[in-house]
Amino acid sequence: MSIPAATNEVASGSLPLPVSSETPMQQKTRLNPRRVAAATLFGIAATLPALSAAQSLSDEWKFRAVVYMWMPKITGSATFPGGNTAAFSMSFSDILDHLKMTGMGTLEAQNGRWGAFTDIVYMNVGGTSTRTRDGTIDGVQIPAGVTLNTGVGLKSWIWTMAGSYRVQATPDSELDVFAGARYLSIEPTLTYDFSANVGPFVGPGRSGSRTVKGEEWNAIGGVKGRVMFGDNREWYIPYYVDLGAGQSKFTWQGATGIGYAFRWGDAYAMYRYLDYDFKSSSKVQDLTIKGPVIGAAFRW
């Protein structure tokens, strides 16, 4: 399938994090994305005994290659060497302005009821500076008369791989259950520079960077498929949900949208949401990647 406004402020213990405008009651009643994902997954799974596979399945290998563009907003926070915690919020326009390299794609294989797929997202985004007069770097307090410019860049790999079993195959719908793993490599970089000498930060030392890298493997399981409609069933609604855990405390991903089938393949538009909740020992505290996707799939 597939991932920074860099309002990159160094947070508590360093520079202040954004304060939520929600009231406690709004926070309490807000939908929990984990519960929504779990309810969707288990709701679909509950219907499996009633499904029938009326359509004959080919015993030949069939392949599908997908190229797409994910246009996300990325939010999260990380703790860097020296004790600085930076919260970042990167809109798609910021990603475009500071994008160094990206690549996204999916490969699927199907033989009868059994199949497999892999999906890779790579993104390397440079940091955008923000100005502030409050905070610390490496525990050194920044005087009120000195301007501190900070930025957060992001380098990430997201690799999903799984085996699948087709439990539903009719002219109107397809449904697969799958199990596999997802790998995440994330490398945020905090950059800084001062408008004047501060403590040990003098001369060339007035600018620098701090980098932290996190790698996580998680087992995942979920469902994916499509529901076809139209005179010739050329239109379809694709869907995908997975849940997982392992080195992360919890991760989940969901996507849905609309697509159109041609003779050569498909064209589609979706909204995709990926979320990570890391363990307390992780240098990266949280990560959310969400936004629209447009893509084309080629079959052979």
Per-residue pLDDT at 151: 78
**Which pLDDT score, from 0 to 100, does residue 143 have?**
67
Do 70 and 102 meet the contact criterion of CB atoms below 8 Å apart?
A: no
Distance CA(132)–CA(149), nearest Å, equals: 7
Residues of the chain with pLDDT under 50: 2-30, 48-53, 130-134
- Please give the C-alpha separations between residue 150 and each of 8, 82, 156, in angstroms, as whole numbers: 7, 15, 20
Distance CA 86, CA 17 (A): 8
pLDDT tens for each residue of 254-273: 999 999 999 999 999 999 99
pTM score, two decimals?
0.77
Residue-level pLDDT at 38 = 57
121 three-state secondary structure? strand
Q: What is the pLDDT of residue 46?
A: 53
Q: C-alpha distances in angstroms, 116 versus 58, 61, 140?
A: 15, 11, 52
Tokens 């999903």 correspond to: 160
Q: Name all domains of the chain by residue range, CATH numbers in brackets.
A: 33-299 (2.40.128)
| Separation CA 231–CA 124 (nearest Å) | 43
Number of Cβ within 10 Å of residue 14's Cβ equals 27
Residue whose pair of structure tokens reads 């770097």 in the numeric block: 137
| Burial classification of residue 184, based on how many CB atoms lie within 10 Å of its CB (0-12 exposed, 13-18 middle, 19 or more buried) | buried
CA nearest to 181, candidates 167, 163, 166: 163
User: pLDDT per residue over 95-147, tens digit each?
Assistant: 998 999 999 999 999 999 999 999 999 999 987 654 443 456 666 666 666 66
